[in-house]
Amino acid sequence: MPHRGSAPDRRVEIMSDDRHLVVVGASLAGLRAVEAARTEGFEGRITLIGAERHLPYDRPPLSKAYLDKSDEGPVSTEFRAESVITDQLDVKLLLGTAAVGLDTADRIVFLADGREVRYDALVIATGAQARSLPGTADLAGVHTLRTVDDAVSVRAALDAGARTVVIGAGFIGSEVASGARKRGLVPVVIEALPTPLVRAVGQEMGAVLASLHTRNGTDLRCGVGVASIEGDGRVQRVVLEDGTVIDADLVVVGAGAIPAVEWLEGAGLTIDNGVVCDENLWTGVVPHRVV
């Protein structure tokens, strides 16, 4: 989260057993928040809200081992069994429904299914979401790779021999291309910059990574952007800014991530490429503190 500068310690005091702690975001940060609350002796109610239907899981393996070709299928990346969260940590799980609004005055989290969850203290742990390309929301076969459902869909398409186009030669794009090559496919990787990963590793190392792509059979095209992604209900082609048309059954967009803060609009928080907070992760909302 962006930082607003030094301030007095404003840690939320929620130790009484009649308080309700709500954590929005059922990924690693949200899980660690509820674990920390119990470790510190909080005995009140805890509710963990997650937009996905899955228990908290590790995301980095989704673009790595999860996409490897294996007859046994991918290994689960869940952090904790459901019984650990619900029984040992005594946490109520509300999974599969996203938070869509927040009222900090009345201390209410609004969910997509119409439910309202009242809180005494709130942890915002919704993190980031993958950046998508405009006009592709209703086009089947176009994916980002942020969730386990994304990974399942991408893996299935690779197993089916999809003509694969990857937009972005960053870490995720490169890992998807590697998964395609392991299946004997020839993925096309589109990178708008002249050198892959130049911002992360520099020009010299970026050039080395580019050579790895080409030596391993990936069709790497740098220095050109995407003009459009086209198809009739399902993706059929990617059109580049230089006019090149690439046939595609699967398009994976690896264009980075953006803070997941849309649901906080109008809640009275300061939003600046994320939620602005102090060194104690307090947002400054008064009189009801939100962390």
Note the pLDDT tens digit of each residue in 22-72: 999 999 999 999 999 999 999 999 999 999 999 999 999 889 888 887 766
242, burial (CB in 10 Å: exposed 0-12, middle 13-18, buried 19+): exposed
Measured in degrees and rounded to the nearest 5, phi and psi for residue 234 equal: -130, 145
Structure tokens at 119: 């809180």
pLDDT of 101 > 50? The answer is yes
**C-alpha to C-alpha distance for 188 and 127, rounded to whole angstroms:** 30
* Orientation angle between helical segments 198-215 and 171-181, nearest 10 degrees: 10
pLDDT band at 177 (very low <50, low <70, confident <90, very high): very high
pTM equals 0.86
pLDDT band at 91 (very low <50, low <70, confident <90, very high): very high
Q: Which residues contact 83 (CB under 8 A, 6 or more apart)?
A: none
End-to-end alpha carbon distance in the chain: 11
**How many other C-beta atoms are found inside a 10 Å radius of the C-beta of residue 40?**
9
Each residue of 12-22: pLDDT tens digit? Answer: 455 556 799 99
Q: Which of 39-43, 62-66, 281-285, 287-291 has the lowest mean pLDDT?
A: 287-291
Q: Which of these, 6, 4, 24, lies nearest to 267 by C-alpha position?
A: 24
The pLDDT value given to residue 73? 67
107-121 average pLDDT score: 97
The pLDDT value given to residue 70? 72
Measured in degrees and rounded to the nearest 5, phi and psi for residue 164 equal: -105, 130
**C-alpha to C-alpha distance for 193 and 198, rounded to whole angstroms:** 8
Q: How does the average pLDDT of the chain come out, rounded?
A: 90
Q: 137 in helix, strand or coil?
A: coil
Structure tokens at 76: 């689960």
pLDDT band at 96 (very low <50, low <70, confident <90, very high): very high
